[in-house]
């Protein structure tokens, strides 16, 4: 039988997971565990045992004779969260028989044979946060076909070869457009380290200008090592910059993710769009910086291109935006991205380097603090623009890890295993007192003089908890971030 995956048509990166550990004999109530996963591994690698009448059983390719079981006994009314029980069964009987129902959008619903009108349901909402080794999300039944009941069935294929990885990068590598006013340009790791001192907190040893292979290769405790950085490194050096590519694949995956990681020596201050409200109406607006909020040494951002292992086509794009990954599906790519030939164009935001598919203010973290008579409407601003420098990732790149390759692996890159901060320890970033007045001035202009002191204190007090940060200096190494493990 061909190995397959069953993926949600609604939730990107959400796959049906059969955990058949301990399922060794038939149990009337089933056993094991069925839920979701954000990547394809052994538990997400499945097979269809097809019958002559068009029905089939869904069995694990990892656990022998373990099948998906859907029990809808007593399930007569749905409250929007499905019902019944989905788990595993040793062997296939009535509860383990299904049939496909084709959908107009090309997806398939999976209908129970024993329980007419009941369809497999997969709620991958938690996957949008992160997956984990034990799976996440909910799989059960539903009495109608909606977004949660639609699936994509794909054959499992082998990963890309080294030659195919390089070909995909050269064909689809993104064009990163940097803001024309960007003061903190990307740079290479090698250039950055010439401006750093490696600090051992336990021995107080200091190593100026460490070579990449001098960075510790083994993690043995938080805050053991960090990097002090010369102020001269803040502007970065675009002439040395490159995209560091991590090719990610696990057994069973039908795609290979090419993660393009970008490094900047310094992350600049956040900026905001403020509107001052008086009796519910905007009286003034402005775009103040929030310095020093958002400032820190060392910034890692990424663009992920998802490549279909069989067709070698670009099928999805994910952009990093302040700690979160934002996916664009294959069907939405043409309307979302501009292209330079076959290369998607991505814009890095001013100061913060978050990635977006178009120019504009790219507002996020909207907070409204209404009060009578005065209030604030607040958005973080991530400004992107044309006219600046570019980094062509199809030409300026280095594949730093493709650990699924065995015989034709890329050269080892020791700094990838550095698991500590890329900046200093023991710093704190807080709102500067003068920035409070700047926010008020941006929001209210001259109208600010008319706001009573107690009203002003109330507005500032409501705003500050969202933007006062603790020690955020020196971003963690990519290998310590969930994205590196395919958990976007």
Considering the entire predicted model, what is its pTM?
0.71
Q: Where in the chain is the domain with CATH 2.80.10.50?
A: 3-155
User: pLDDT of 113-158, one tens digit each?
Assistant: 999 999 999 998 865 445 567 888 999 999 999 999 999 998 877 8
**Is residue 124 within 8 Å of 70, Cβ to Cβ?**
no
Q: Which residue has the higher pLDDT, 40 or 79?
A: 79
User: pLDDT at position 191, please?
Assistant: 98
What are the start-end ranges of the H helices in 125-198?
162-172, 189-193
User: pLDDT at position 129, please?
Assistant: 41
For 195, counting Cβ atoms within 10 Å of its Cβ (0-12 exposed, 13-18 middle, 19+ buried), the class is buried
User: pLDDT of 147-204, one tens digit each?
Assistant: 999 999 988 778 899 999 999 999 999 999 999 999 999 999 999 999 999 999 999 9
User: pLDDT of 277-302, one tens digit each?
Assistant: 888 888 888 888 877 778 889 999 99
Say yes or no to pLDDT of 466 above 60.
no
Beta strands at 119-123 and 138-142: parallel, antiparallel or unpaired: antiparallel
The architecture that CATH gives domain 3-155 is Trefoil (2.80)
Q: Phi and psi for 71 in degrees, rounded to 5?
A: -110, 115
SS (H, E, C) 83-125: ECEEEEEECCCHHHCEEEEECCCCCEEEEECCCCCCEEEEECH
- Neighbouring CB atoms inside 10 A of 434's CB total 9
Beta strands at 397-401 and 85-90: parallel, antiparallel or unpaired: unpaired
Written as six digits, the tokens of 406 are 């065995």
Mean pLDDT of 249-264: 90
The DSSP call for residue 451 is S
User: pLDDT of 52-71, one tens digit each?
Assistant: 999 999 999 999 999 999 99
């Amino acid at each position: 039988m061909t190995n397959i995956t069953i993926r949600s048509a609604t939730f990107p990166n959400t796959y049906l997971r059969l955990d058949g550990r301990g399922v060794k004999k038939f149990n009337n109530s089933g056993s094991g565990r069925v839920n979701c996963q954000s990547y394809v591994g052994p538990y997400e690698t499945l097979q269809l045992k097809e019958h002559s009448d068009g029905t089939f059983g869904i069995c694990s390719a990892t656990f022998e004779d373990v099948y998906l079981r859907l029990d809808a006994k007593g399930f007569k009314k749905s409250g929007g969260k499905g019902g019944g029980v989905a788990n595993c069964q040793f062997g296939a009987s009535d509860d383990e028989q299904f049939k496909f129902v084709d959908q107009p959008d090309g997806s398939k619903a999976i209908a129970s044979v024993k329980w007419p009108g009941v369809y497999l349901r997969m709620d991958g909402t938690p996957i949008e946060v992160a997956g984990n080794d034990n799976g996440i999300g909910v799989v059960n039944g539903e009495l109608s076909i909606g977004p949660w009941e639609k699936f994509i069935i794909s054959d499992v294929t082998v990963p890309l070869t080294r030659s195919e990885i390089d070909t995909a990068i050269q064909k689809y590598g993104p064009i990163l457009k940097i803001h024309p006013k960007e003061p903190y340009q990307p740079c290479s790791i090698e250039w950055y380290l010439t401006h750093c001192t490696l600090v051992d907190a336990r021995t107080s040893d200091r190593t100026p200008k460490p070579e990449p292979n001098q960075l510790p290769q083994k993690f043995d405790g938080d805050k053991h090592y960090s990097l002090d950085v010369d102020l001269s490194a803040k502007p970065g050096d675009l002439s040395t910059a490159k995209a560091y590519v991590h090719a990610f694949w696990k057994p069973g995956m039908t795609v290979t993710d090419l993660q393009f990681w970008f490094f900047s020596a310094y992350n600049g201050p956040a900026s905001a769009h403020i509107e001052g409200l008086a009796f519910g109406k905007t009286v003034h607006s402005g775009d103040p910086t929030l310095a020093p909020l958002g400032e820190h040494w060392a910034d890692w951002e990424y663009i992920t291109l998802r490549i279909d292992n069989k067709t070698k086509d670009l099928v999805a794009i994910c952009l990093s935006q302040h700690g979160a990954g934002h996916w664009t599906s294959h069907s939405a790519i043409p309307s979302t991205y501009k292209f330079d030939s076959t290369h998607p164009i991505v814009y890095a935001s001013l100061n913060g380097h978050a990635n977006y598919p178009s120019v504009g203010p790219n507002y996020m973290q909207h907070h409204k603090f209404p009060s009578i008579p005065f209030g604030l409407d607040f958005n973080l601003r991530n400004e992107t623009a044309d006219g600046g420098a570019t980094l062509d990732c199809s030409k300026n790149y280095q594949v730093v890890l493709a650990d699924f390759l065995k015989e034709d692996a890329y050269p080892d890159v020791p700094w990838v295993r550095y698991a500590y901060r890329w900046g200093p320890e023991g710093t704190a970033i807080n709102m500067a007192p003068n920035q409070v007045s700047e926010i008020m001035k941006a929001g209210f202009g001259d109208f600010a003089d008319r706001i009573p002191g107690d009203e002003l204190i109330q507005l500032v007090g409501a705003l500050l908890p969202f933007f006062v940060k603790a020690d955020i200096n020196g971003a963690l190494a990519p290998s310590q971030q969930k994205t590196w493990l395919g958990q976007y």
